[in-house]
Amino acid sequence: MAQKLAFLLALQVLAASAAVTSFTFGQDIDYPPYASKNATTGELTGFGVELVKAMNAHCSATLNITVVETRWSNCWSSAGGGTLGALLEDGTLDACMTYTHTQGIRNDYADFSYGILDVNKAAGLLTLLENGMPKLDGHSDLNGKTIVDVGGWAPTADGLDFVTNKCLNQKYSSNYTLVVGNGNDEAMTMLRNGSADAMFVYADQAKNYQCDGSTVAAWDCALWQGFGTEYAYVQTGQFGYVVNGTTLALSKKGSGVPEAINSCLAEVMATEAYYDACVKYDLVDSCYANSFFPSSGIVIHEYNKETDEHAGDCSSGYCPCPSTSTPTTQTSLATGLSIKALMGATLSFLVAVLL
Ligand SMILES: *[C@@H]1O[C@H](CO)[C@@H](O)[C@H](O)[C@H]1NC(C)=O
Ligand SMILES: *[C@@H]1O[C@H](CO)[C@@H](O)[C@H](O)[C@H]1NC(C)=O
Ligand SMILES: *[C@@H]1O[C@H](CO)[C@@H](O)[C@H](O)[C@H]1NC(C)=O
Ligand SMILES: *[C@@H]1O[C@H](CO)[C@@H](O)[C@H](O)[C@H]1NC(C)=O
Ligand SMILES: *[C@@H]1O[C@H](CO)[C@@H](O)[C@H](O)[C@H]1NC(C)=O
């Protein structure tokens, strides 16, 4: 009895001294609906902040996460192929929010928490339209082309080697030139002024950069006008570059932040509050479904579809795969190329079988 009491007392002391772990997480404000700033109240908002609020409420006995505004470059920089930003490096920030868990370079310097969105944060290729037709079409293997990557953002520049042309189901040629724009606006400027034939970018970026005044537009709204008339995606649904979807925390390697928050995160992601957050930010088809999600009828956004699932023309902003039957010069050239490509694929298949 005395032993039991002593044990219980010891437990209580432990519980009382197991102080709440406090973390400071950073986010920038130019990544709606994941990370932005309410234009009316000036408060940080977005899917990441919403989950932090739910976690602080659900795990108030153990966790207290404070979210602060920072520039993404303090978290992750594309300098020298990619490296940790200064404020994560020096510990001012414990983590940065809403980073995609990519393959490649980020894993050398950073740890990621569990995903807060499913593994469907697709990449795509954006190109200019001329009379409604893409300047670089969905069959291009990028041979001899110049591609601009968005510096500091996923998909990282090394990501193109992981993804597949979704019209031909082939890897791209390795003979392309990669250039890097400093952020989405500069990359878009380079696409528009002809410094690049296509931009390798999140498949939902153009949609999310259409300004509606509800959040602070920390980017150049005018630059992103003309989606579906001046520019469009010729590829979407490119996933090969990811390990997990959007995460709550990207932290310095070995810092232990994911380990400290993952169990609370997993608990919150099983609640109705998680489903409500998915609805609020129009991310239901990107969320990890739990028991509060409807079992059918979830609408899939165009940006979450494969290229060959787009129909019609490019005016939606998402071009379908080029037709191989229309007898114009341009298309027959594309057909010729795709037949060559198919022959190449068959050959490599035969070689693979023979080996
Ligand atoms: C959480 O941390 C912040 C910043 O240190 C502090 O202002 C706040 O009172 C803390 N909240 C709780 C519930 O401990
Ligand atoms: C990806 O995120 C999900 C949901 O949070 C988690 O269950 C899973 O363990 C994560 N996978 C990796 C490799 O981190
Ligand atoms: C590689 O691309 C360059 C243009 O950047 C082109 O001149 C060259 O012919 C291409 N090489 C091959 C093997 O296709
Ligand atoms: C295109 O835009 C980029 C980024 O602003 C700039 O560095 C480059 O000089 C421009 N090129 C041309 C041809 O205007
Ligand atoms: C901004 O805050 C106001 C006031 O709380 C709220 O009504 C509105 O829905 C918020 N807007 C966004 C985009 O979160």
**292-317 per-position pLDDT tens digit:** 999 999 999 999 999 999 999 999 99
Residues 25 and 117: their CA atoms lie apart, in Å, by 18
Q: Whose C-alpha lies nearest to ligand 4, atom 1?
A: 190
**Residues 132 and 56 placed together within one structural domain of the fold:** no
Tell me the best of 113, 120, 244 to mutate to test the pocket of ligand 2, counting ligand atoms within 8 Å of each CB and taking the most.
Answer: 244
> Domain holding 263: CATH number?
3.40.190.10
pTM of the model: 0.84
Region 116-134 average pLDDT: 94
Is the beta carbon of 174 within 6 A of some atom in ligand 3? no
Nearest to 28 by CA among 250, 195, 227: 250
**Residues 220 and 333 placed together within one structural domain of the fold:** yes
Per-residue DSSP letter, 321: P
**Residues 219 and 339 placed together within one structural domain of the fold:** yes
Question: In what helix (H) or strand (E) does residue 262 lie, and over which residues does it extend?
Answer: helix 257-268
> How many angstroms separate the alpha carbon of residue 242 from the centre of ligand 3?
29
Q: Is cis: bond before 33, omega within 30 of 0?
A: yes
If DSSP codes are grouped into helix, strand and coil, which group holds residue 69? strand
Residue 182 has pLDDT above 90, yes or no: yes
Say if strands 164-165 and 170-171 run parallel, antiparallel, or are unpaired.
antiparallel
Region 21-27 average pLDDT: 98
**Residues 79 and 127 placed together within one structural domain of the fold:** no
Domain assignment of residue 174, yes or no: yes
Residue 340 has pLDDT above 80, yes or no: no
* Mean confidence (pLDDT) of the chain: 88
Region 344-354 average pLDDT: 36
Atom of ligand 1 nearest to the CA of 56: 13
Question: In what helix (H) or strand (E) does residue 350 lie, and over which residues does it extend?
Answer: helix 329-354
The predicted structure's pLDDT at residue 4: 54
Domain assignment of residue 12, yes or no: no
Please report which confidence band the pLDDT of residue 81 belongs to, taking 50, 70 and 90 as the band edges: confident
If DSSP codes are grouped into helix, strand and coil, which group holds residue 160? helix
> How many angstroms separate the alpha carbon of residue 114 from the centre of ligand 2?
4
**Residues 84 and 231 placed together within one structural domain of the fold:** no
**Residues 179 and 327 placed together within one structural domain of the fold:** yes
Ligand 2 pocket: which residues have CB below 6 Å?
114-115, 243-244, 269, 288
Using an 8 Å Cβ cutoff, are 318 and 310 in contact? yes
Ligand nearest to the CA of 60: 1
**Residues 65 and 114 placed together within one structural domain of the fold:** yes
Using an 8 Å Cβ cutoff, are 90 and 204 in contact? no
The predicted structure's pLDDT at residue 241: 82
Please report which confidence band the pLDDT of residue 238 belongs to, taking 50, 70 and 90 as the band edges: confident
**Residues 218 and 147 placed together within one structural domain of the fold:** yes
Query: Per the structure, how many domains does the chain have?
Result: 2
Residue 43 lies in domain: 19-119+243-286
**Residues 23 and 54 placed together within one structural domain of the fold:** yes
Domain assignment of residue 213, yes or no: yes
Please report which confidence band the pLDDT of residue 3 belongs to, taking 50, 70 and 90 as the band edges: low
